[in-house]
Amino acid sequence: MYNAGKVITGIIIFLIIVLSPFWYNGLTGKTAYVPLLKVPDTAKQCVESTQYMKENHMELLNSWKETAVRQGKKTYTAKDGKTYGINLTGTCIKCHANKEEFCDKCHNYAGVKSYCWDCHNYPKTGAWEQKTAGSRK
Amino acid sequence: MNRREFLKVAGLSLAGLTGWQTFNLLSGGAFAKSLPGVQNSVQKQWGMVVNMEACSRKAGCNDCIDACHRIHNVPDLNSPKDEVKWIWTASYDKVFAEQDHAFSNKGLKNRQIIVLCNHCENPPCVKVCPTKATWKREDGIVMMDYHRCIGCRYCMAACPYGARSFNWKNPRPFIKEINQDFPTRTTGVVEKCNFCEERLAKNLLPACVEACEEKALTFGDLNAADSELRRILNTKFSIQRKPHLGTQPKVYYTV
């Protein structure tokens, strides 16, 4: 190999630069960061188990939308037989009143944008009208 | 097997496959009942009758409009160009243009008539919607799914009654007080009256009907022969908006 020293040094420098976000986060201890959610103490369990909600809340909310809006059925029967009103503001937000500390924590961390709140209401915790203004592109 | 025999067998098996469904369809069996368009006769059909005389008793009354727009978070944009409306008033010669003539009653001509989505039996807005964001429910309500609306405004062009409004701006800053129990809309969707579908689900009358002190609005089931709605339609002369278009409005007006 010609110029082995230069090539290998170049590759090492290239890797250091390209992987710099990983080094940086590893050195500053940010890789260990896990968003901790403020879970309400008003109820012991959400409509389904915590694990199920973590993994499937988006499918559940989507099916709630379909059932309530398109089929006109306004109640949901959970796996344990309990019934809940299908209502994002009335059921979900009744417990999870602090959107910033609950929805946004994970969604910001994962970089997932939801436009639920462009239309649906939640209790005012800030200047939310301005924040949501025209956010749906 | 030669070609002739093969064709015979193939033809017979095809006939056998389709024959059963044809028999079923003609005999009104389960297959026929599963087809869309075969309506359940006991299904409710919501309708409304507006007593124009009672409606005009209190000059400048906007009780029904205020109640509806407050409950449904309808913004007040204060400009006719951007206007969003679910229920509003227009003069008789505009609402019933085909009834108006040079010598029609002057009082009637200038009268403000209450108008809203007609929840047509044959809604043209539904026909043109490319995403099925608007559709007719089994109880006759022409519903909107704002999640699915892409804001193409075909429905607004199709509606002969101007019952649909488009959100050119974020409506939230223009709502005086947001009713937390009902969502607002967002920029880029079309909205209209939903016949208070959310209140009917709780066995409540539509907000406009409840708010009217003159009892000018009567709401009910058109399929129930003993309903107050049917009694009024049966005893009084009623008209519809633009009936010649064949949309079959379910909002009726008595003179």
Looking at this predicted complex, what is its ipTM? 0.75
For B155-188, write each residue's pLDDT tens digit.
999 999 999 999 999 999 999 999 999 999 999 9
Calpha distance B219→B210 (Å, rounded): 10
Q: Does the beta-carbon distance from B180 to A121 stay under 8 Å?
A: yes
- B170 Cα to chain A: minimum distance (Å): 6
* Chain mean position to CA A112: 6
* Inside any domain, residue A51: yes
Q: Does the beta-carbon distance from A121 to B184 stay under 8 Å?
A: yes
What predicted TM-score, i.e. pTM, was given to this entire model? 0.78
What pLDDT score was predicted for residue B31?
Answer: 59
- Residues A73 and A119 placed together within one structural domain of the fold: yes
- Residues A5 and A50 placed together within one structural domain of the fold: no
What pLDDT score was predicted for residue B203?
Answer: 94
| A36: confidence class by pLDDT, cuts 50, 70, 90 | confident
What pLDDT score was predicted for residue A94?
Answer: 87
Best residue in A63, A70, A89, A119 to probe B by mutation, most B CBs within 10 Å?
A: A119
Best residue in B132, B175, B180 to probe A by mutation, most A CBs within 10 Å?
A: B180
- Mean pLDDT along residues B27-53: 73
Judging contacts by C-beta atoms under 8 Å, the chain B residues touching residue A118 are 186-187
> What are the phi and psi torsion angles at B177 (to 5°)?
-135, 120
First to last CA, chain A: 53
Judging contacts by C-beta atoms under 8 Å, the chain B residues touching residue A119 are 146, 183-186
Residues paired with residue B47 on neighbouring β-strands, in sequence order: B220
For B198-246, write each residue's pLDDT tens digit.
999 999 999 999 999 999 999 999 999 999 999 999 999 999 999 999 9
- Residues A18 and A48 placed together within one structural domain of the fold: no
Mean of the per-residue pLDDT values for chain B? Answer: 91
C-alpha distance from residue B212 to each of B58, B63, B196, B205, B219 (Å):
10, 6, 15, 11, 12
- Residues A46 and A25 placed together within one structural domain of the fold: no
Report whether pLDDT(A123) > 90: no
Report whether pLDDT(B106) > 90: no
Kindly state whether A74 is in contact with chain B, defined as any CB-CB distance less than 8 angstroms. Answer: yes
| A131: confidence class by pLDDT, cuts 50, 70, 90 | very low
Residue of A nearest to B172 (CA): A129
Report whether pLDDT(B6) > 70: yes
SS (H, E, C) chain A: CCCHHHHHHHHHHHHHHHCHHHHHHHHHCHHHCCCCCCCCCCCCCCCCCHHHHHHHHHHHHHHHHHHHHHCCCCEEECCCCCEEECCHHHHHHHHCCCCCCCHHHHHHHHCCCCCHHHCCCCCCCCCHHHHHCCCCC
For A47-66, write each residue's pLDDT tens digit.
999 999 999 999 999 999 99
- Residues A29 and A41 placed together within one structural domain of the fold: no
* Inside any domain, residue A106: yes
Residue spans of beta strands (DSSP E) within B132-215: 134-136, 142-144, 165-166, 190-191
Q: Does the beta-carbon distance from B180 to A115 stay under 8 Å?
A: no
The dihedral over CA atoms of A124, A130, A132, A133, expressed in degrees to the nearest 10, equals 140
Kindly state whether A129 is in contact with chain B, defined as any CB-CB distance less than 8 angstroms. Answer: yes
Say how many CB pairs under 8 Å bridge A and B. 43
Calpha distance A48→B81 (Å, rounded): 46
Q: Does the beta-carbon distance from A119 to B186 stay under 8 Å?
A: yes
- Residues A49 and A92 placed together within one structural domain of the fold: yes
Structurally, chain A folds into a number of domains equal to 2
Calpha distance B94→B156 (Å, rounded): 18
* Continuous H helices in chain B: 3-26, 30-34, 52-55, 63-71, 92-95, 106-109, 124-128, 154-158, 197-200, 207-211, 228-235
> CB–CB of B219/B200 below 8 Å?
no
- Residues A126 and A76 placed together within one structural domain of the fold: yes
* Chain mean position to CA B142: 4
- A12 Cα to chain B: minimum distance (Å): 50
Q: Which two tokens stand for residue A20?
A: 């710099």
Report whether pLDDT(A132) > 50: no
Q: Which two tokens stand for residue B85?
A: 């409306």
Amino acid residing at B192: K
What pLDDT score was predicted for residue B29?
Answer: 62
Kindly state whether A115 is in contact with chain B, defined as any CB-CB distance less than 8 angstroms. Answer: yes
- Residues A73 and A111 placed together within one structural domain of the fold: yes
Interacting residues of B101 by C-beta distance below 8 A, sequence separation 6+: none
* Inside any domain, residue A8: yes
What pLDDT score was predicted for residue B17?
Answer: 84
Report whether pLDDT(A134) > 80: no
- Residues A45 and A59 placed together within one structural domain of the fold: yes
Question: Which domain does A84 fall in, by range?
Answer: 35-132
Name the nearest CA neighbour of B104 among B95, B23, B25: B95
For A70-97, write each residue's pLDDT tens digit.
998 999 999 999 999 999 988 998 888 8
* Inside any domain, residue A7: yes
Q: What is the CA radius of gyration of chain A?
A: 22
Name the nearest CA neighbour of B165 among B97, B248, B68, B254: B68
- Residues A47 and A76 placed together within one structural domain of the fold: yes
* Inside any domain, residue A81: yes
Q: Which of A72, A119, A133 sits opposite B183 (nearest CB)?
A: A119
Please give the full DSSP string across B49-82, using - where no structure is assigned: EEEHHHHTSSTT--HHHHHHHHHTT------TTT
* Inside any domain, residue A137: no
- Residues A72 and A15 placed together within one structural domain of the fold: no
Report whether pLDDT(B131) > 80: yes
- Residues A67 and A123 placed together within one structural domain of the fold: yes
- Tell me the residue length of chain B: 255
| A137: confidence class by pLDDT, cuts 50, 70, 90 | very low
* Inside any domain, residue A71: yes
- A78 Cα to chain B: minimum distance (Å): 20
Q: Does the beta-carbon distance from A132 to B172 stay under 8 Å?
A: yes
What pLDDT score was predicted for residue B92?
Answer: 92
What pLDDT score was predicted for residue B36?
Answer: 55
Count the Cβ atoms, other than its own, within 10 Å of residue A53.
13
For A8-28, write each residue's pLDDT tens digit.
999 999 999 999 988 888 888
Q: Which two tokens stand for residue B200?
A: 């009917």
Count the Cβ atoms, other than its own, within 10 Å of residue B131.
12
Name the nearest CA neighbour of B45 among B125, B122, B112, B104: B122
- Mean pLDDT along residues A103-110: 90
Report whether pLDDT(B30) > 80: no
| Pairing mode of beta strands B46-51, B251-254 | parallel
Residue of B nearest to A65 (CA): B147
